[in-house]
Amino acid sequence: MARILYLVHRIPYPPNKGDKVRSHHLLKHLAERHEVLLGTFVDDPDDQQHVPALSQWCSEVLALPLSPLPARVASLTGLLRGTPLTLAYYRNAAMAAWVRRLRESGRIDAVVVFSSSMAPYAQGFDVPVLVDLVDVDSAKWAEYARARPWPLSWLYAREGRTLLAYEREIALTATRSFLVTQQEVALFERLAPDCAGRLQAIGNGVDADYFASDPGLASPFQAGEIPLVFTGAMDYWPNVDAVTWFAAEMLPALRARWPALRFHIVGRSPAPAVRALAGDHINVTGTVPDVRPYLQHAAVIVAPLRLARGVQNKVLEAMAMARPVVAASTCAAVLDAQAGVHLAAAETPAHYVNEVSRLLESEGEAVQMGRAARACVLQHYAWSARLGGLDPFLESSHPHAD
- Mean pLDDT of all residues in 364-392: 95
Average pLDDT estimate for 273-279: 98
Pairwise CA distance, residues 44 & 22, whole Å? 18
Residues whose CB is less than 8 angstroms from the CB of residue 210 and which lie 6 or more positions away in sequence, other chains included: 292
- Percent of the chain at pLDDT above 90? 93
DSSP code per residue over 145-183: HHHS-TTHHHHHHHHHHHHHHHHHHHHHHSSEEEESSHH
CA distance 397 to 100: 20
Is 398 a residue whose pLDDT tops 90? no
Band of residue 399 on the pLDDT scale cut at 50, 70, 90: low
Q: Name the CATH superfamily for 3-205+383-395.
A: Glycogen Phosphorylase B; (3.40.50.2000)
Q: Range with the lowest mean pLDDT among 74-83, 98-107, 167-176, 197-206?
A: 74-83
- pLDDT tens, residue by residue, 175-194: 999 999 999 999 999 999 99
Domain with CATH 3.40.50.2000 in the chain: 3-205+383-395, 226-380
DSSP, residue by residue, 351-396 = HHHHHHHHHHH-HHHHHHHHHHHHHHHHHH--HHHHHGGGHHHHHT
- Is residue 248 predicted with pLDDT exceeding 80? yes
Question: Which value, in Å, is the radius of gyration of the alpha carbons in the chain?
Answer: 21
Contact predicate 345/325, CB 8 Å: no
Tell me the C-alpha distance between 239 and 191, whole Å.
26
**Is the model's pLDDT at 311 over the cut of 90?**
no
Question: Over the range 86-123, which residues count as b (16 or more CB within 10 Å of their CB) and which as e?
Answer: bbbbbbbeebeebbeebbeeeebbbbbbbbbbbbbbbe
Mean pLDDT over residues 219-234, rounded? 97
DSSP 222: P
Handedness of CA 284, 287, 288, 290 (dihedral sign): positive
- pLDDT on residue 307: 86
Query: From the centroid of its chain, how far is CA 11?
Result: 13
| 208 pLDDT higher than 80 | yes
Residue 395: band (very low, low, confident or very high) from pLDDT cuts 50, 70, 90:
confident
- The CATH architecture assigned to 226-380 reads 3-Layer(aba) Sandwich (3.40)
Res. 18 pLDDT band, cuts 50 70 90: confident
Helix (H) or strand (E) holding 78: helix 77-81
Q: C-alpha dihedral over 271, 267, 16, 344, to 10 degrees?
A: -120
Q: Give the C-alpha distances (Å, rounded to integers) separating 353 from 146, 167, 294, 305, 372.
A: 26, 39, 21, 15, 22
**What's the pLDDT tens digit per position in 146-158?**
988 999 999 999 9
- pLDDT confidence of residue 397: 63
Q: For residues 396 and 348, which has the higher predicted lDDT (pLDDT)?
A: 348
CB–CB of 203/181 below 8 Å? yes
Contact 401, 1 (CB under 8 A): yes
